[in-house]
Amino acid sequence: MSSISELYQSVILDHNRSPKNYRRMADGNCTANGRNPLCGDELTVWLKLDGERIEDAAFEGSGCAISRASASLMTTAVKGKTRPEAEELFDRFHRLVTGRLPGDEVASLGKLAVFSGVSAYPVRVKCASLPWHTFKAALDAPAGAARQQPIA
């Protein structure tokens, strides 16, 4: 089965080398920062929400290959989804990386399944889930709303 893990590894390395959606989003309406002190990963996630639908997602930051690849695949996966669909996907992804997703459900995650191997490495679980936690924080922190806070 080494060819499968090699394939997974090459997907992660590809996304680390040339991550998708790696840019600062000027017209996003939600944003959050995330940090994983265990590894030193840091990233910012931007979202453009149209009502309940995620129109666009982007990120920037520095970190290890796992966190960058995860952010690349996460931003790709949530684009076009509604908030409940994306939250359900996060739940399934989180169960995957913590080794709690039944084997027959792994394929339903598509490319995100490349992270199934991290469940054996607790430190790496944090790297893979950081972009998703940051995404969730962005969903709950509309940038517009924050700017509208009255200045005391």
- Is 61 among the residues that bind Zn ion (CB under 5 A)? no
CB of 66 to Zn ion, least distance (A): 5
Q: Using CB under 5 A, which of 16, 21, 31, 67 touches Zn ion? A: 67
CA neighbours closer than 13 Å in the CB half-sphere of residue 61: 28
- Which range in 45-53, 57-65, 89-97, 138-146 contacts Zn ion by CB under 5 A? 57-65
All residues at 6 or more sequence positions from 151 whose CB lies less than 8 Å from its CB, including other chains: none
- Is 127 among the residues that bind Zn ion (CB under 5 A)? yes
Q: Nearest-CA neighbor of 128 among 72, 51, 49?
A: 72
Question: How far, in Å, CA of 89 to CA of 139, rounded?
Answer: 14
Q: Nearest-CA neighbor of 18 among 79, 62, 68?
A: 68
Question: How far, in Å, CA of 94 to CA of 116, rounded?
Answer: 10
One-letter amino acid for residue 28 of the chain: G
- Which range in 9-17, 63-71, 103-111, 137-145 contacts Zn ion by CB under 5 A? 63-71
Tokens 């992804």, located at residue: 93
Of 86-125, binders to Zn ion (CB under 5 A) are none
Contact mark string toward Zn ion, 27..46, x via CB under 5 A = ------------x-x-----
Closer CB to Zn ion, residue 67 or residue 79?
67
- Is 64 among the residues that bind Zn ion (CB under 5 A)? yes
Phi/psi of residue 61, nearest 5 degrees? 160, -175
CB of 119 to Zn ion, least distance (A): 15
CB of 38 to Zn ion, least distance (A): 8
Structure token pair of residue 46 = 């931007």
- Is 25 among the residues that bind Zn ion (CB under 5 A)? no
Positions touching Zn ion (CB under 5 A) are 39, 41, 64, 67, 127
